[in-house]
């Protein structure tokens, strides 16, 4: 994915894509085939009418016959245009329907990939892959069928009729057409590597913009605007150079077509003149040869134009295939069920690192009985949040086992595991959508009555009452319009609506004012009832509700036991921390416990 080029794609893969995504629309594809055949037939018929009209006029034929031929020509031309519009509509519908299905498949595939994949790629790059490359393919799906298949039928029809009229003309123009197609076919891959580099440069630009726009407050606060614009110009300059190189190579195909057809017209006029002077053909047939040569030019030009799109599609298919073939390092479980009720938690000699040569957790073992609350303490970087990520199976440990309710998490379906484990963090992500969608995370089968009950339970009743549109009111991304406390309580409401068996709280009230913190603490009390919980604590006051304490330092468990016992033991780390906290309490903000662990 991160390379600058894309491999040349076997032509079989074009057919595979067409079959996979067009198969559900066989009737529409059949209708398109009929429209293309009929349109091609009408394009071949009209020159015959014109030839008859010219010969009749040259021989002094009846005016009535000429009027009839003129009317027939207009009717056929009009019908051809109508059918051409219909074929274009059906083709575009097929193309966008097929590629929208491909977009959905790729988006779902990316959502199913593990976090190591997403850590290596920016959202902007993935957007360019899922939307930009697939948009290029939409032209391939829709226009390829109409223009390439239709042009191929027209090309064959023209050559057959020319052979029928005069085998010498047919042979000469058939050889010319084969030569032109051969030249263009040899040129079709000339721009593929350059176009792939252009797509990669576009993806890198989008990734850069997404990252900088997301951090615009920090950039402004630290005066990094000039540096950011400098980097932006570097990306734009790179994209410009790669795009210029790609388009210059792609234009070679168009220039070759123009040169080839200068030869083709000379050949058609020369043959027509020779045969007419030899009385082998009529003046109408001379026109017919010229007109069919013009028709011959159109499909070959269309084919050459589509070869340029085919080059872009080749690069797109290569990148789409590369993304689609990327496999998650996390394999879904075989489906062992989790027991009902609160889940016991056990880490058995677990080690893990985000990179193989740097472990974050080192031989961690812990046991938490169903319904117990574990207070997880440690300085920043000690591995507390990593334990939560492993419980969710965002990653798998490099060594050891993680067991929930007596079942290895690797044997549980990911969907069931994510439903059984709920998390509330300090960072609450809101999405562009309604209040209902942000609470249910777009789950449609949660009733409004249940949502309203949960809002009252977590202390958001007053906030909800002030909303003019209730659950149908819209929230914007980035927590705009909500205080930190309201956003935090909304996150609690999400977990309540899921009713998980295990709850992980990542110091959800560490950045709130005392009044709002009191509401959050009440919500925590309700949330922990009848559930197993792990509370990642940055302040000692948070662990007062914990049954057990585990303290991490540099990825190692340095203390683990029941909270009351550790608090009474003068030799324990927890006891020393509590004594230090009592000493510092006089200088702390009233109502707030000192932060000793961050």
pLDDT at 78: 93
User: How high does pLDDT run on average in the chain?
Assistant: 80
| pLDDT band at 581; cut points 50, 70, 90 | low
Residue 319 near residue 137, CB atoms below 8 Å = no
Instruction: Answer whether residue 3 shows pLDDT above 50.
Output: no
Within 10 angstroms of residue 309's Cβ, the number of other Cβ atoms is 19
pLDDT at 6: 44
Residue 43 near residue 80, CB atoms below 8 Å = yes
Pairwise CA distance, residues 1 & 437, whole Å: 33
pTM surpassing 0.95? Answer: no
Residue 297 near residue 264, CB atoms below 8 Å = yes
Pairwise CA distance, residues 107 & 127, whole Å: 9
Residue 388 near residue 533, CB atoms below 8 Å = no
Instruction: Answer whether residue 166 shows pLDDT above 90.
Output: no
For 201-264, the DSSP string reads: HHHHHHHHHHHHHHTHHHHHHTT-HHHHHHHHHHHHHHHHHHHHHHHHHHHHHHHHHHHHHHHH
Lowest pLDDT segment from 105-109, 163-167, 249-253, 270-274 = 249-253
DSSP code of 541? G
pLDDT at 410: 92
Pairwise CA distance, residues 281 & 272, whole Å: 8
Q: What would the two tokens of residue 260 be?
A: 């080839």
Instruction: Answer whether residue 427 shows pLDDT above 90.
Output: no
CA-wise closest residue to 552 among 401, 390, 389, 379: 379
pLDDT at 560: 92
pLDDT at 520: 76
Instruction: Answer whether residue 186 shows pLDDT above 90.
Output: no
Instruction: Answer whether residue 9 shows pLDDT above 60.
Output: no
Tell the residue number behind the tokens 């073939």, with chain if given: 325
Instruction: Answer whether residue 123 shows pLDDT above 90.
Output: no
> pLDDT tens for residues 439-488?
888 888 889 899 998 888 888 888 888 888 888 888 766 555 677 778 88
436 vs 137 pLDDT, higher one: 436
Within 10 angstroms of residue 437's Cβ, the number of other Cβ atoms is 18
Give percent above pLDDT 70 in the chain: 84
| pLDDT band at 197; cut points 50, 70, 90 | confident
123 vs 106 pLDDT, higher one: 106
Residue 347 near residue 364, CB atoms below 8 Å = yes
pLDDT at 593: 47
pLDDT at 506: 80
| pLDDT band at 79; cut points 50, 70, 90 | very high
pLDDT at 1: 41
Pairwise CA distance, residues 346 & 595, whole Å: 28
Q: Are strands 407-408 and 399-404 parallel, antiparallel or unpaired?
A: antiparallel
Q: Is 361 helix (H, G, I), strand (E, B) or coil?
A: strand
| pLDDT band at 64; cut points 50, 70, 90 | confident
Instruction: Please state the rounded mean pLDDT for residues 55-80.
Output: 87
Instruction: Answer whether residue 587 shows pLDDT above 70.
Output: no
Q: What would the two tokens of residue 170 be?
A: 């047919």
> pLDDT tens for residues 519-548?
777 888 888 888 999 998 766 777 788 899
Instruction: Answer whether residue 17 shows pLDDT above 70.
Output: no
Give percent above pLDDT 90 in the chain: 16
Pairwise CA distance, residues 180 & 261, whole Å: 8
Instruction: Answer whether residue 246 shows pLDDT above 80.
Output: yes
| pLDDT band at 416; cut points 50, 70, 90 | very high
Lowest pLDDT segment from 172-176, 403-407, 493-497, 593-597 = 593-597
Instruction: Please state the rounded mean pLDDT for residues 365-377.
Output: 92
pLDDT at 7: 45
Instruction: Report how far Cα 196 is from the mean position of its chain's Cα atoms.
Output: 18
> pLDDT tens for residues 548-562?
999 998 889 999 999
Instruction: Answer whether residue 5 shows pLDDT above 50.
Output: no
Q: List, in order of start, the domains of the chain with CATH numbers.
A: 11-325 (1.20.1560.10), 345-587 (3.40.50.300)
Pairwise CA distance, residues 488 & 516, whole Å: 10
| pLDDT band at 216; cut points 50, 70, 90 | confident
Instruction: Answer whether residue 183 shows pLDDT above 80.
Output: no
Instruction: Please state the rounded mean pLDDT for residues 156-174.
Output: 84
**φ, ψ dihedrals at 429, nearest 5°:** -95, 120
pLDDT at 4: 40
| pLDDT band at 306; cut points 50, 70, 90 | low
| pLDDT band at 373; cut points 50, 70, 90 | very high
Instruction: Answer whether residue 393 shows pLDDT above 60.
Output: yes
Q: Is 188 helix (H, G, I), strand (E, B) or coil?
A: coil
> pLDDT tens for residues 256-266?
777 777 787 77
């Amino acid at each position: 994915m991160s390379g600058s080029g894309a491999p040349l794609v076997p032509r079989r893969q074009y057919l595979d894509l067409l079959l996979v995504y067009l198969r559900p629309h066989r009737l529409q594809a059949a209708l398109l085939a009929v429209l293309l055949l009929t349109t091609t037939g009408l394009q071949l018929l009209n020159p015959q009418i014109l030839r008859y009209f010219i010969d009749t006029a040259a021989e002094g034929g009846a005016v009535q016959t000429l009027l009839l031929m003129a009317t027939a020509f207009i009717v056929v031309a009009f019908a051809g245009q109508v059918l051409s519009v219909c074929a274009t509509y059906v083709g575009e519908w097929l193309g966008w329907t097929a590629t929208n299905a491909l977009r959905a498949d790729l988006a779902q595939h990316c959502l199913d990939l593990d976090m190591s994949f997403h850590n290596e790629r920016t959202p902007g790059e993935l957007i360019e892959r899922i939307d930009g490359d697939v948009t290029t393919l939409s032209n391939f799906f829709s226009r390829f069928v109409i223009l390439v298949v239709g042009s191929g039928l027209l090309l064959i029809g023209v050559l057959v009729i020319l052979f029928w009229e005069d085998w010498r003309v047919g042979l000469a123009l058939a050889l010319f057409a084969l030569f032109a197609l051969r030249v263009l076919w040899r040129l079709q891959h000339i721009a593929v590597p350059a176009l792939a580099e252009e797509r990669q440069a576009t993806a890198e630009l989008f990734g850069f913009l997404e990252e900088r726009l997301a951090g615009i407050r920090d950039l402004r606060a630290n005066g990094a605007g000039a540096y950011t614009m400098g980097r932006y110009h570097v990306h734009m300059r790179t994209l410009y150079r790669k795009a210029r190189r790609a388009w210059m190579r792609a234009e070679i195909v168009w220039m070759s077509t123009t040169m080839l057809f200068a030869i083709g017209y000379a050949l058609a006029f020369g043959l027509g003149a020779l045969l007419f002077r030899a009385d082998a053909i009529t003046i109408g047939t001379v026109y017919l040869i010229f007109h069919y040569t013009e028709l011959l030019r159109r499909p070959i030009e269309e084919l050459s134009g589509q070869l340029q799109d085919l080059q872009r599609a080749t690069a797109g298919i290569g990148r789409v295939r590369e993304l689609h073939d990327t496999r998650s390092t996390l394999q879904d479980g075989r489906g062992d069920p989790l027991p009902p009720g609160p889940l016991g938690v056990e880490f058995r000699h677990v080690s893990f690192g985000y990179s193989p040569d740097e472990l974050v957790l080192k031989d961690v073992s812990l046991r938490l009985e169903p319904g117990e609350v574990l207070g997880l303490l440690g300085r920043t970087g000690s591995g507390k949040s990593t334990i939560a990520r492993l419980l969710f199976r965002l990653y798998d440990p490099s060594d050891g086992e993680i067991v929930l309710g007596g079942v290895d998490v690797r044997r549980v379906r990911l969907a069931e595991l994510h439903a059984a484990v709920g998390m509330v963090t300090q960072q609450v992500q809101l999405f562009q959508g309604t209040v209902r969608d942000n609470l249910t995370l777009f789950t449609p089968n949660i009733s409004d009555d249940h949502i309203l009950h949960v809002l009252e339970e977590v202390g958001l009743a007053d906030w909800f009452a002030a909303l003019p549109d209730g659950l149908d009111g819209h929230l914007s991304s980035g927590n705009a319009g909500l205080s930190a406390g309201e956003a935090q309580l909304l996150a609690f409401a999400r977990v309540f609506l899921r009713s998980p068996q295990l709850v992980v709280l990542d110091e959800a009230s560490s950045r709130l004012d005392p009044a709002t913190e009191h509401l959050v603490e009440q919500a925590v009390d309700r949330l922990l009832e009848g559930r197993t919980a792990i509370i990642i604590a940055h302040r000692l006051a948070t662990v007062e509700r914990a049954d057990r304490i585990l303290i991490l330092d540099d990825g190692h468990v340095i203390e683990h036991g029941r909270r009351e016992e550790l608090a009474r033991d003068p030799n324990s780390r927890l006891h020393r921390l509590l004594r230090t906290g009592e000493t510092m309490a006089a200088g702390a903000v009233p109502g707030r416990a000192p932060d000793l662990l961050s």
